[in-house]
Amino acid sequence: MAGTHSIPSDIDILICGGGTAGAALAGIIARDTDLQVVLLEAGPDYGPLATGQWPADALNAIEICRSHQWAYYGIAHPSHTQPTGYDRARIIGGCSSHNGCVALSGARADYDAWPGLGAPGWDWASVTPAFERAKRQLRVRSVADNEITPWQRVFVDGCIAHGIPWTDDLDNPDENVGVGASPVNIVDGMRWNTALAYIDPVRERPNLRVVGDCLVDRVVMENGRAVAVDALIDDTSVRIAARRIVLSAGAYGSPAVLLRSGIGPTDEMKRLGIAVTHPLAGVGQALADHP
């Protein structure tokens, strides 16, 4: 458990969410600068791998970890009568600590469309160097042929028999159709999450503090600028100030924090009875699964 005594009073960068991206960002900044970084994670932080505190199901790459979940449920489609569970990890490393270790960069066309949507500098050519660095840090590797299990082999053979070609590189950004083994971030059978890859190497640095079991409720705004967050630690409400605040609470968590902070569509804020601190269209309104 965390305590307020473990949080520095002078913080340069406060990262809210120690998931896949948040853990990586905290580790990189702490490694490459002398800035004081504090990482807040709603779930537990089990410390360095070497301490032996990590739960077995979070490390075992052959099973999906179910022990650290947010337990989100919802109606996935209007035709459904029963709620569907939406897996999201509540643990340091986030979903990289419970997922299937599939390590794919995505399609070139998706990234090349982003600058036109208002995100300059996020085209494929610009982000590829970062992907390559992440693959090295996460120890991403190809799956050897002898690692493909018999039932996986039957599935592959069935795909090929129905006209889906075999591909040696499932991470080809321009390949649209194919079946093959995905690159994985598995090391000796272990799920190599971003906490192990990015946080562990810098845990002893004096400019990094990881605070587990800390639930961020809202961002505090003053004169149009984020200056602090309100959070819960040991069921106690605390306010944590920083010179810069990074919200990295995931696809579900970040929009919720923003909306509770009064940052979002004005009509939605009024409907929810939340005072608008910063009107921002689209917050919480563009959730979509991969097609």
User: Do the strands 190-191 and 186-187 form a parallel or antiparallel pair, or are they unpaired?
Assistant: antiparallel
Q: Which residue has the tokens 């996020």?
A: 122
Displacement of CA 86 from its chain's centroid (Å): 14
Per-position pLDDT tens, the chain of length 291: 455 558 999 999 999 999 999 999 999 999 999 999 999 999 999 999 999 999 999 999 999 899 999 999 988 888 999 999 889 999 999 999 999 999 999 999 999 999 998 999 999 999 999 999 999 999 999 998 889 999 999 999 999 999 999 998 899 999 778 999 999 999 999 999 999 999 999 999 999 999 999 999 999 999 999 999 999 999 999 999 999 999 999 999 999 999 999 999 999 899 989 999 999 999 998 787 765
Q: How far is CA 108 from CA 123, 128, 133, 212, in A?
A: 8, 10, 17, 36
CA distance 255 to 261: 10
pLDDT of 167 reads 92
Are 42 and 216 in contact by the 8 Å Cβ rule? The answer is yes
Residues with Cβ within 8 Å of residue 147, at least 6 apart in sequence: 181
Sheet containing 236-241: order of strands: 214-222, 225-233, 236-241
pLDDT of 165 reads 94
Sign of CA dihedral 218, 222, 226, 230: negative
How are the residues of the chain apportioned to helix, strand and coil, as percentages rounded to the nearest 5?
30, 20, 45
pLDDT of 80 reads 92
Domains of the chain: residue spans and CATH: 4-100+194-279 (3.50.50.60), 108-188 (no CATH)
Q: Which residue has the tokens 């009073």?
A: 9
pTM for the whole structure: 0.92
pLDDT of 290 reads 67
Residues with Cβ within 8 Å of residue 21, at least 6 apart in sequence: 94, 194, 248
